[in-house]
């Protein structure tokens, strides 16, 4: 196990370098000098930059010189903890990301909790009561959750909360630890929206896993011994059925990040997702580059943890 | 449509070629002459066995027909202004109401669907073609190529795809061709893993070995012995993938990152949603339901196809 972790950590390095390179090359894929033109039109004033200012901006973005030398310089700066400064605010981009990330972390944690709390029980019921009305309701819910666009769900919640209940979501920043109730009013709905698709996926996976397990011999033995259905499901089936399910939860990190970009904007939450969207819209490239890199690193770590949980939840899996 | 030289018939042929080799996706071989997979009698039997899949297929046919025939069916043009007062509720003259410029929402919905449906299909065809190419080459070539390719795939899987797409869409001013290409390229490596593992499983099968022994070139082996066995997987995967692409493209245009005057379902939500949605909820309902129905239909069809074509994949 330890050897495996060490090897996986080592394998992470080339992936991280590749990820860094991909997020670096992204802004340089643009043909010709479009980027320069874009910088010209960037900034809140929209004023044209003088050639000297343009040169210094290029230098600030690290787009002077050849591509390999640019990449080398960028990585070197990163290694020294120097992320570039934002075009718009001239603040450190890492610092700006840090200021915004708490919202996204809370949203992500809530979303994962919701998807597990909704997806696994409904999926388990569906499987245990296969081909009953309950099962059909569960399956319809699951396929609907997977088909509904998350931004539309968010719009519906806002529209109908307002039309039917005259409800408007609280605005502004309400930290969880000082104003927990207002904070939850802000976060529960967007977290549910992000959780919907994952919950649908978990429902389906749990249902099939339960169906598989219920056909096993040891379940028949348990039944023959006259154990209560509840005990068979909770003690004997669910634990084994959840092995393939748990490992999927880690892959939902990508869904959370993608979801936060869209949903934070709609619900007006000032998180890292919204920061990313606005910096793309306002052509704040250093900020975009930093955010892409951080998201990518988070996803790499998420993938690693996912692989490791396989071994923790299923002792049959040996890491060679 | 009786068994032409298309992909589905080749699936049937592949089965007989490989039946002596190993387990293959399709059902147990039947004795005697059997009708082609697309013969009416078989289709009917399939529809009876998979009513949900048949319903999904019917829904897709209806959606596609409605949208493709939009110029004939739509009562008004997609950009025809002031066909009625602004923001009128659904009525007999405007069954889905009108929007903030007095345009007929139903007509716009039909025209918008043309873009949403065709663009998502184009993205899927392109993406799946790339994925199959990557996966089959990587799986069959193995060795250092495979190793390098897998590390690249790791990196691609760690990218926040929506963010990358937004950046590219912003840099290229919402150019649709760039977006379609980017979606295909970003998803192809991860999707290629599926076809890679399928190829790995096939490459050491006795019938592939036999072909190798007779001196067939790698290209010939891949094209005539490996690929036909992948068709079920490709069809199933592609069908399910269209739904994901509809959602992704809808998000992009909802956020205003796809350029153009021509509407699609996502952009209809973008313009109407922000300002008028509370007073005129029909603006939000119609395009959203259209997207959901289309995704639902593709997903359900994908599920049924998977059950029919590849029982081993059931539940995955």
- Cross-chain Cβ contact A19/B158 below 8 Å: yes
- Cβ contact B63:B113 at 8 Å: yes
Q: Is B160 on the interface with A (CB under 8 A)?
A: yes
B chain contacts of residue A14, beta-carbon cutoff 8 Å: 151
Pinpoint the alpha helices (H) of chain A: 2-25, 34-41, 51-61, 67-79, 93-128, 133-147, 150-165, 180-214, 217-224, 229-231, 238-251, 253-267, 272-281, 285-313
CA distance B173 to B257: 7
CA distance A153 to A190: 9
Tokens encoding A148: 């509904």
- For B104, the 3-state DSSP assignment is strand
CA atoms within 13 A on the CB side of B123: 29
Distance between B296 CA and the closest CA of chain A, angstroms = 5
What length is written for chain B?
316
Tokens encoding A204: 């389906």
CA distance B189 to B154: 9
Residue in A closest to B272 by C-alpha: A155
CA distance A253 to A104: 11
A chain contacts of residue B266, beta-carbon cutoff 8 Å: 149
> Residue B278: CB partners within 8 Å, gap ≥ 6?
A158, A159, A162, A163
pLDDT band at B18 (very low <50, low <70, confident <90, very high): very low
Q: Is B299 on the interface with A (CB under 8 A)?
A: yes
- Cross-chain Cβ contact A283/B163 below 8 Å: no
Distance between B299 CA and the closest CA of chain A, angstroms = 8
Q: Which residue has the higher pLDDT, B185 or B30?
A: B185
Q: Is B291 on the interface with A (CB under 8 A)?
A: yes
B186-226 pLDDT per residue, tens: 889 888 888 998 888 888 889 988 998 998 888 898 888 88
Give the burial string for B262-288 (b: 16+ CB within 10 Å, else e): ebbbbbbbbbbbeebbeebbbbbbbbb
- Cross-chain Cβ contact B243/A147 below 8 Å: yes
A chain contacts of residue B314, beta-carbon cutoff 8 Å: 208
CA distance B305 to B309: 6
pLDDT band at A33 (very low <50, low <70, confident <90, very high): low
Look over chain A and give the mean of its residue pLDDT values, rounded to a whole number. 83
pLDDT band at B20 (very low <50, low <70, confident <90, very high): very low
The predicted model gives A280-300 an average pLDDT of: 86
CA distance A29 to A50: 25
- Cβ contact B110:B121 at 8 Å: no
Residue B174's pLDDT is what? 81
Residue B293: CB atoms within 10 A of its CB come to 16
Q: Is B178 on the interface with A (CB under 8 A)?
A: no
A6 pLDDT higher than 50: yes
Q: Is B187 on the interface with A (CB under 8 A)?
A: no
B313: left (phi over 0), alpha (psi -120 to 50) or beta: alpha
Which of B59, B147, B163 to mutate to test binding with chain A, by most A CBs within 10 Å of its CB?
Answer: B163
Residue A40's pLDDT is what? 60
Question: Which among A180, A199, A196 has a CA at the least distance from the CA of A245?
Answer: A199
A chain contacts of residue B173, beta-carbon cutoff 8 Å: none
Q: Could you tell me the end-to-end alpha-carbon distance of chain B, in angstroms, rounded to an integer?
A: 31
- Cross-chain Cβ contact A22/B315 below 8 Å: no
pLDDT band at A107 (very low <50, low <70, confident <90, very high): very high
Q: Is B170 on the interface with A (CB under 8 A)?
A: yes
B chain contacts of residue A271, beta-carbon cutoff 8 Å: none
A chain contacts of residue B293, beta-carbon cutoff 8 Å: 147
B37-60 pLDDT per residue, tens: 667 777 777 777 778 888 889 999
Tokens encoding A139: 């399956």
Residue in A closest to B275 by C-alpha: A159
Distance between A3 CA and the closest CA of chain B, angstroms = 20
ipTM of the complex: 0.84
Q: Is B284 on the interface with A (CB under 8 A)?
A: yes
A271-282 pLDDT per residue, tens: 999 999 998 888
The predicted model gives A229-238 an average pLDDT of: 82
Tokens encoding A282: 């306002």
Q: Is B159 on the interface with A (CB under 8 A)?
A: yes
Q: Which of B155, B166, B296 faces A22 most closely, judged by CB atoms?
A: B155
Residue A195's pLDDT is what? 93
Distances (CA, A) of A78 to A19, A302, B10: 14, 21, 53
> Residue A290: CB partners within 8 Å, gap ≥ 6?
A83, A84, A93, A94, A97
Distance between A178 CA and the closest CA of chain B, angstroms = 31
Q: Which of A38, A158, A261 faces B163 most closely, judged by CB atoms?
A: A261
B chain contacts of residue A39, beta-carbon cutoff 8 Å: none
Distance between B276 CA and the closest CA of chain A, angstroms = 10
Residue B128's pLDDT is what? 94
- Cross-chain Cβ contact B296/A147 below 8 Å: yes
pLDDT band at A234 (very low <50, low <70, confident <90, very high): confident
Residue A119's pLDDT is what? 92
The predicted model gives B222-244 an average pLDDT of: 88
Pinpoint the alpha helices (H) of B142-264: 143-157, 161-171, 176-203, 206-213, 218-221, 227-254
Q: Is B52 on the interface with A (CB under 8 A)?
A: no
Q: Which of B159, B163, B292 faces A276 most closely, judged by CB atoms?
A: B163
Using N-to-C axis directions, what is the helix angle for A133-147 and A180-214, rounded to 10°?
A: 120
Distance between A295 CA and the closest CA of chain B, angstroms = 6
- Name residue, tokens 């069908």: B239
- Cross-chain Cβ contact A296/B291 below 8 Å: no
Residue in B closest to A265 by C-alpha: B255
- Cross-chain Cβ contact B288/A162 below 8 Å: no
pTM above 0.95, yes or no: no
Using N-to-C axis directions, what is the helix angle for B105-141 and B227-254, rounded to 10°?
A: 140
């Amino acid at each position: 196990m330890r050897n495996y972790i060490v090897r996986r950590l080592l394998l992470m390095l080339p992936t991280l370098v590749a990820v860094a390179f991909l997020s670096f090359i992204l802004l340089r894929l643009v043909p010709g000098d479009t980027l320069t033109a874009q910088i010209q039109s960037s900034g809140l004033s929209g004023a044209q930059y003088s050639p000297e200012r343009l040169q210094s901006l290029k230098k600030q973005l690290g787009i002077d010189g050849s591509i390999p030398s640019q990449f080398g310089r960028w990585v070197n700066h990163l290694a020294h903890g120097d992320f570039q400064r934002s075009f718009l605010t001239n603040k450190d981009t890492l610092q700006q990301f840090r200021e915004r990330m708490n919202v996204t972390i809370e949203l992500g944690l809530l979303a994962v909790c919701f998807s597990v709390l909704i997806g696994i029980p409904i999926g388990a019921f569906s499987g245990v009561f296969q081909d009953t009305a309950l099962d059909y309701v569960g399956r319809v819910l699951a396929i609907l959750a997977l088909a509904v666009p998350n931004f539309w769900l968010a719009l519906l919640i806002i529209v109908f909360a307002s039309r039917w209940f005259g409800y408007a979501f609280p605005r502004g920043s309400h930290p969880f630890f000082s104003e927990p109730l207002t904070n939850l009013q802000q976060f529960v709905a967007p977290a549910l929206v992000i959780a919907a698709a994952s919950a649908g996926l978990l429902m389906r996976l749990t249902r099939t896993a339960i169906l598989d397990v219920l056909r096993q011999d040891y379940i028949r033995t348990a039944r023959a011994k006259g154990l209560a259905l509840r005990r068979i499901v909770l003690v004997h089936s669910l634990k084994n059925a959840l092995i393939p399910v748990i490992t999927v939860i880690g892959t939902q990190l990508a869904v959370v990040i993608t979801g936060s970009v869209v949903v934070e904007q709609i619900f007006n939450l000032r998180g890292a997702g919204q920061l990313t969207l606005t910096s793309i819209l306002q052509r704040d490239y250093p900020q975009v580059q930093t955010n892409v890199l951080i998201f990518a690193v988070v996803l790499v770590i998420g993938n690693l943890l996912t692989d490791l949980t396989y071994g923790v939840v299923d002792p049959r899996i040996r890491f060679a | 449509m009786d068994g032409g030289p298309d992909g589905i018939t080749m699936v049937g042929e592949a089965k007989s070629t490989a039946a002596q080799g190993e387990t293959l996706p399709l059902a147990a071989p039947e004795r005697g002459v059997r009708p082609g997979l697309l013969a009416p009698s078989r289709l009917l039997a399939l529809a009876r066995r998979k009513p949900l899949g048949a319903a999904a297929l019917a829904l897709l046919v209806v959606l596609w027909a409605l949208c493709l025939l939009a110029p004939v069916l739509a009562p008004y043009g997609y950009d025809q202004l002031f066909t009625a007062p602004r923001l009128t509720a659904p009525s007999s003259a405007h069954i889905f109401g009108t929007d903030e410029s007095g345009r007929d929402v139903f007509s716009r919905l039909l025209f918008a669907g043309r873009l949403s449906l065709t663009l998502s299909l184009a993205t899927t065809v392109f993406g799946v073609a790339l994925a199959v190419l990557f996966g089959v080459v990587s799986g069959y070539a193995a060795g250092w190529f495979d190793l390098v390719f897998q590390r690249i795939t790791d990196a691609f899987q760690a990218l926040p795809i929506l963010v990358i797409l937004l950046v590219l869409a912003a840099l290229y001013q919402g150019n649709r061709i760039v977006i379609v290409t980017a979606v295909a390229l970003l998803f192809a490596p991860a999707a290629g893993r599926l076809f890679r593992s399928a190829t790995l499983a096939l490459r050491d099968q006795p019938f592939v070995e036999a072909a190798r022994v007779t001196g067939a070139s790698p290209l010939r082996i891949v094209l005539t012995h490996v690929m036909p066995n992948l068709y079920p997987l490709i069809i199933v995967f592609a069908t399910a993938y269209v739904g994901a692409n509809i959602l992704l493209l809808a998000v992009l245009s909802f956020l205003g990152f796809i350029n153009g005057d021509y509407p699609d379902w996502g952009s209809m939500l973008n313009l109407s949603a922000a300002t008028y949605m509370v007073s005129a909820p029909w603006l939000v309902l119609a395009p959203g339901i259209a997207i959901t129905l289309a995704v639902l239909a593709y997903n359900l069809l994908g599920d049924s196809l998977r059950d029919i074509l590849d029982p081993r994949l059931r539940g995955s």
